[in-house]
Amino acid sequence: MHTSTASPLSPVPRHWRRAALAATLVLSGCGLSSAEEVGAVDTVFKFIGPDHKIVVDAYDDPKVSGVTCYVSRAKTGGIKGAFGLAEDKSDASIACRQTGVISFAGGKPLDKQEEMFSERISLVFKRLRVVRMVDAKRNTLVYLTYSDRLIEGSPQNSVTAVPVPATTPIPVK
């Protein structure tokens, strides 16, 4: 007699789901994100596992040299946090600044709106995103951070802007 490994609610066999979970865990630990941690402060002491904290990461805009975005966000500790199983809070704050001479990669035009970075903040379904928008009328780059979920995102967001010198027009598609 053959028994199925799939539950009645899921047509995907259990061993496939386990393989997908393992692949997600491996990929999430491979350093695919280009964030550089600037610092962190502890907010809650945990006896087992890392403390809950607020981390500040720096992201250099890959298409705009001379602009760096600093994103602060909550990071869950404890046992779940140590193994990457915790779901971090949706709260995040962003501040982008001119950190050098502003230039555009190869002089290529930018999309009017484009996701710059995306980082997992829960096991599978929740992501922290940073989007760059071009305000061509004011020659300004606007950066928005927010989190989303596969089913339902969060309205919590933060925005910042970097004015580009008038002598350096922003190339837009």
Mean pLDDT of 57-84: 83
pLDDT tens, position by position, 45-64: 767 766 678 889 999 999 99
Contact present, 65 and 105 (Cβ < 8 Å): yes
Position 149 scores a pLDDT of 64
Two tokens at 25? 């865990």
Residue 60 CB burial class (10 angstroms; 0-12, 13-18, ≥19): middle
pTM here is 0.68
Confidence of residue 129 (pLDDT cuts 50, 70, 90): confident
Position 62 scores a pLDDT of 93
More confident residue, 164 or 84: 164
Report DSSP letters for 81-135, one per residue: HHTT-PPPPS-EEEEEEEEEEEEEGGGPPBPSEEEEEEEE-SSSSEEEEEEEEEE
Closest CA to 135 of 108, 163, 104, 115: 163
pLDDT > 70: percent of the chain: 61
Max Cα-Cα span within the chain: 76
